[in-house]
Amino acid sequence: MTRKYTHNKIDEESLQELKTAADELHELAKELGLKPPKVNYWLVDYDEINQLAAYDGFPIRYPHWRWGMKYSKRNKEDTYFGGKIFELVNHDTPANAFNQISNSIDDHKGVIAHVEAHADFFANNYFFEDNPDATGMMERHANLIQSYYDDTDIDKNEVEEWIDSVLCIQDMIDPLNGFKDIKNNNNTEEQSINEVLDSLDVSDEVKRQLTSDIPDEESETQNVIYEKDLLKFLLENGHQYNSDTERAEEYEHWQKSIIEIIRRESYYFSAQKMTKVMNEGWASIWESIMMANEAYAQTDEIINYADKQSAVLNSPGFNPYKIGKELWEYIENKENRREVVSKLLRVEGITWRNFHDKIDFTQLNKLIYDNHDEDIPYERNYSLLRNQNKGFIKNISKDELQKESRYIFDKNVYNTVEDSIKDIDYEKAWKKMREIRETHNDITFIDSFLTEEFVQDEQYFAYEYNHKARQMQVSSTSLDAVKKKILLQITNGGKPTIIAADNNYNNAGELLLKHQYNGVQLNISKAIDVLKRLFKLWGKPVHLKTIRKDKNTGEEEGLLISYDGTRTKRKEIKIIEDIQADQIDYDTKPDDWL
Amino acid sequence: MSRINRDVRRFNQIGENHRMDLKEFIKHGQLGKNIKIPIKIIELPEFEYDKSQKGGIGKGDADVGDPVDDGGDGDEGDGSGKPGEDEGEHEYYQMNPEEFAKELDNELGLDFEEKGKKVVEKIEGDYNDTRKAGPNSTLDKEHLFKQALKRHAAMYVDTEYIQELLKVRGYGVEKVWEWVRENNINISKSNIEQFASEITEKTKYESIDDIGREYKKLPPKKSYKDIQFRSEDEIYRSPEIIEKPQNNAVVINIRDVSGSMREKKRELVERVLTPMDWYLQGKYDNVDFVYVAHDASAWIVNRDEFFGIQSGGGTKISSAYELIQDEILPQYPWDSWNRFIFAAGDGENMAKNTKNKLIPLMKEIKATRHAYVEVQPNSKRLKNANVGDELEKEFHGEDKYRIARVNSKKDVLDAIQKILDNVKED
């Protein structure tokens, strides 16, 4: 279907230019300190890229109507709104990037720069599988499921219905723990999630979210089940419901296999989902460094930018691309500033108290400039030399200065500001950023680096629905509230966390799920729809414990929803401690809205 | 392509006698906000948060309590997909207008001075403005009380009398409605219609006096404790903020959408106008964009439509300027708004329209800058395409008027520079 850099619609000269660009940009990325592995670039036409997009970046997926839905929706959007996919990239060995052939040469170059940074991220971030055989896996899964459709002993509709039912819970896996099996297959060095978290400077609240209070091993209670990976739980305990015999029966082999396939693919995609903010931001900043700062772009490229960006500008709400890029830029500036400030505070006579009076910031910027070396990539790209960042050092708060000075024991090292600037490490920020891209995911990234300064400078705010005013209203502009709302968006892919808590509920082999309530209630009618589908996958009655919140009073009450194959039942429950996530409340409504 | 076609075919079949179990999950929604494209979406259920409790984050200078337009995505069956929602897929690059303006300034060496028309005045006025939420001390008690009283009174409408009234010869719904209003009785017309439909003897009484009693005015007084207050009547007064913003600009983009404006020309127009919009957005605190399409007549469109539409009609450029003068500019007074009026077309115009109508209008309409962009792909001049020539002749040497010609992508930057360079005058 695709031809690597050969295509009858592109002339030899342009092709040569692209090949050269791919090689040069790869080298440039390495010069800038990235470590992208080799990427296979493919030139594909309009139809092909839309199919690839429908298949989440792969040439083949198992037969299913929802790819068809995505594809026809995309086609309509393109036809009527002029959208266009410039590129797709997947994490594979090697990574594959698909560029749309009709891109201009300049677009192609920007895309390649972007892709090289993604490839670097895939290969170096802890949460991605090492050396995956992704395309091969997708193809094997497609063939397997096709064979069930082709099998005359199996009802085609049953296969499709079974897939649909599993898809309703496809994201109910445990990316942080479950993926260890997969990761450790290729990795001898075991590192538990807790060790990783301990090495990061994240808050306890987030740690709790990530490790989700796994009950202590010493716990007295017997048979405490806490399983986030519902798909695994089904594979170990589930049954199919036979409507003829009205009994739970063992899964057919194809049923089990479909659950396994969907679960495996969910784990594969989970790394991308949990690093979207970081990964998109990472690709955007390096693209812009390579294209603009390193002057790889041609003059009229700027016009192309505007075409593409106009849509993003108007997109409301949470935009991972935007916040990711802004955060990385902020980290870059902040780390560079820390380095400069830590040197300045070692100058005789300069303390955190008199910092702003003693330092001539225009002169300081000049010194930083005079001292840098154009031949060294991280020096010529030094963020504090960029025009828009010239005031960044000056804007440091007293608090931060004081904090910084606490770690300085060797005061009075330098006689003059000039001497201190000679000692600054211009690579400091980039080193730190490379570390961050290795160890963090979006949750820890947001938790660690979203600061008051950032939220204020970038003017982020949290909003909530005000039932009195019957509209969405700004609920807070505080760091805490903004962080909560972002974490809510990105934790567990923006979906509520629901765990399997019992496989023998009512002592009758029934399934009990518990919603890990965090201040925001479930969409109850959707939850009932899911339970109905889940019944088919469990074979016996299914139950869900959750908490409902009164929209007027804010009062919380426990609710047990049950489905037994014919009827839905709701029951109020008293004790809700076990489903209430400790000290996590993502509701940011001001008290007087109630 | 057969693989995806197989999946598309299956998707189309679902709900049409296949997989009726999914029928309840099918939404026939619309794609897009401005232009509605019907679309079918099948949404498998998932555990998700209650939308009204989830909230979100936004960007902008905001205070607690400010209303937020959350884009209304999803809820109205509006095909929940947003650009770039799918994994690993990048449709758009990022750059904000300020950055863009800066780069374009560097790139082109534009000598563009943005200037404010008025200095900001922020006056906290009287407590005249009302909101649906606020601190208790600002609750509009008078309003709350009045609404409650109204409702209280309404509960005691003498409906029996109204029903009798409908039995008087000549008293139909209209007449009774009139009577009710004259007597300030709080009953809705639909209620009267309801009563009327139930009445059989329409001529029981010859006249209103035959009813034998008067309308019972207010019921015997009850304690005010019975008066019900409702939260929907709570209004909070907040200071009215009178604000005169600075640095306002309105950018009016005009595009010829007549039959001769084929795809190539359309694309060239977009390539010139879009960056200029971006640029100006980065230069002013507050920019409004208005899009006007015209063939022989003109109408206001939104941005999405602006570059997409094509009509078959002829071309009368002056129609756009008339529309601007009559309907748009009154909202943007010259003393507080910078006005940019950019027209683009292929140089064709109806005979004599340029000279007799267009030029006088362009002279009359006050603007920071008037520009005409003439697109002529492949340098193939059309026969009557001489708008650019005529305007150039007329406005030669006048800084306020800029005429640019674009034959290919290469000319785009020059055109932008020509149009935006050196904006200084008021």
Could you tell me if A128 and A92 are in contact, meaning their C-beta atoms sit under 8 angstroms apart?
no
Residue A357 structure tokens: 């009076």
Residue A224 contacts B, CB cutoff 8 Å: no
Residues 6+ apart with CB under 8 A from A246: A565
- Buried-exposed string B225-240: b where 16+ CB fall within 10 A, e elsewhere: eeeeeeeebbbbbbee
Residue A295 contacts B, CB cutoff 8 Å: no
B234/A306 Cβ within 8 A = no
B103/A474 Cβ within 8 A = no
B11/A69 Cβ within 8 A = yes
Q: Is the peptide bond before B245 cis (omega within 30 degrees of 0)?
A: no
Could you tell me if B268 and B406 are in contact, meaning their C-beta atoms sit under 8 angstroms apart?
yes
Nearest to A316 among B42, B71, B84 (CB): B71
Residue A268 structure tokens: 């594969």
Please choose, from the candidates A460, A276, A315, A524, the residue with its C-alpha nearest in 3D space to the C-alpha of residue B73.
A315
Chain B residue with CA closest to A168: the answer is: B46
Higher pLDDT, B108 or A452: A452
Domain boundaries, chain B: 2-45, 141-237, 245-420
Q: What are phi and psi of B199, to 5 degrees?
A: -95, 135
Handedness of CA B18, B22, B24, B26 (dihedral sign): negative
State the Cα–Cα distance between residues A203 and A210, nearest whole angstrom: 11
Query: What pLDDT shows up at residue B279?
Result: 80
Helix (H) or strand (E) holding A281: helix A276-288
Mean pLDDT of A118-147: 95
Could you tell me if A336 and A428 are in contact, meaning their C-beta atoms sit under 8 angstroms apart?
yes
Tell me the pLDDT band of A578, cut-offs 50, 70 and 90. confident
CB pairs under 8 A between A and B: 318
B10/A307 Cβ within 8 A = no
A498/B47 Cβ within 8 A = yes
B132/A468 Cβ within 8 A = yes
Residue A252 contacts B, CB cutoff 8 Å: no
Query: What pLDDT shows up at residue A238?
Result: 95
Pick among B18, B47, B51 to test the A interface (most A CBs inside 10 A): B47
The CATH H-level (homologous superfamily) assignment of domain B245-420 is von Willebrand factor, type A domain (3.40.50.410)
Give the rounded distance of the alpha carbon of A253 from its chain centre. Answer: 34
State the Cα–Cα distance between residues A504 and A237, nearest whole angstrom: 10
Judging contacts by C-beta atoms under 8 Å, the chain A residues touching residue B132 are 466, 468-471
State the Cα–Cα distance between residues A229 and A307, nearest whole angstrom: 43
Chain A residue with CA closest to B304: the answer is: A81
Query: What pLDDT shows up at residue B29?
Result: 54
Query: What pLDDT shows up at residue A186?
Result: 46
Please choose, from the candidates B194, B189, B184, the residue with its C-alpha nearest in 3D space to the C-alpha of residue B150.
B184
Residue A155 structure tokens: 């009802």
Judging contacts by C-beta atoms under 8 Å, the chain B residues touching residue A457 are none
Number of H helices, E strands in chain B: 14, 14
Percentage with pLDDT > 70 across chain A = 85
Q: Is the peptide bond before A94 cis (omega within 30 degrees of 0)?
A: yes
Pick among B17, B92, B412 to test the A interface (most A CBs inside 10 A): B92
Nearest to B93 among A308, A495, A593 (CB): A308
Give the rounded distance of the alpha carbon of A387 from its chain centre. Answer: 31
Query: What pLDDT shows up at residue B382?
Result: 59
Query: What pLDDT shows up at residue A3?
Result: 36
Nearest to B413 among A88, A300, A307 (CB): A300
Could you tell me if A120 and A34 are in contact, meaning their C-beta atoms sit under 8 angstroms apart?
yes
Smallest CA–CA distance, residue A97 to chain B, in Å, is 10
Q: At CA A382, angle to CA A378 and CA A385, rounded to 5?
A: 155
- In the block, tokens 């600009």 appear at B249
Query: What pLDDT shows up at residue B76?
Result: 29
Query: What pLDDT shows up at residue B283?
Result: 78
A66/B42 Cβ within 8 A = yes
Could you tell me if B378 and B341 are in contact, meaning their C-beta atoms sit under 8 angstroms apart?
no
- 8-state DSSP, A353: T
Coil vs helix vs strand at A542? strand
Residue B229 structure tokens: 């207050």
Burial of A373 (0-12, 13-18, 19+ CB in 10 A): exposed
What mean pLDDT is reported for chain A? 86
Query: What pLDDT shows up at residue A213?
Result: 47
Nearest to A310 among B53, B73, B278 (CB): B278
Residue A553 contacts B, CB cutoff 8 Å: no
Q: Are strands A87-90 and A95-100 parallel, antiparallel or unpaired?
A: antiparallel
Mean pLDDT of A359-372: 94
Could you tell me if A36 and A117 are in contact, meaning their C-beta atoms sit under 8 angstroms apart?
yes
State the Cα–Cα distance between residues A7 and A100, nearest whole angstrom: 11
State the Cα–Cα distance between residues A372 and A380, nearest whole angstrom: 7
pLDDT of A502 above 90? yes
Query: What pLDDT shows up at residue B28?
Result: 64
Which value, in Å, is the radius of gyration of the alpha carbons in chain B? 31
Smallest CA–CA distance, residue B24 to chain A, in Å, is 10
Please choose, from the candidates A422, A450, A448, the residue with its C-alpha nearest in 3D space to the C-alpha of residue A435.
A448
Judging contacts by C-beta atoms under 8 Å, the chain A residues touching residue B99 are 388
Amino acid at B180: V
Query: What pLDDT shows up at residue B247?
Result: 72
State the Cα–Cα distance between residues A591 and B211, nearest whole angstrom: 56
Chain A residue with CA closest to B135: the answer is: A592
Smallest CA–CA distance, residue A476 to chain B, in Å, is 6
A89/B413 Cβ within 8 A = no
Mean pLDDT of A310-339: 78
Chain A residue with CA closest to B305: the answer is: A81
State the Cα–Cα distance between residues B378 and B415, nearest whole angstrom: 16
Query: What pLDDT shows up at residue B120?
Result: 46
State the Cα–Cα distance between residues A316 and B162, nearest whole angstrom: 53
- 8-state DSSP, B168: B
Judging contacts by C-beta atoms under 8 Å, the chain A residues touching residue B7 are 54, 63-68, 71
B131/A463 Cβ within 8 A = no
Which pLDDT tens digit goes with each residue over A378-419? Answer: 999 999 998 889 899 999 999 999 999 998 888 889 999 999
**Ranges in chain B, pLDDT < 50:** 1, 31-37, 72-95, 118-128, 220-222, 244-245, 425-426
B67/A472 Cβ within 8 A = yes
Pick among A74, A170, A278, A305 to test the B interface (most B CBs inside 10 A): A305
Return residues 113-142 of A near B (CB < 8 Å).
114, 118
State the Cα–Cα distance between residues B230 and A552, nearest whole angstrom: 13
Judging contacts by C-beta atoms under 8 Å, the chain A residues touching residue B21 are 161
Amino acid at A332: E
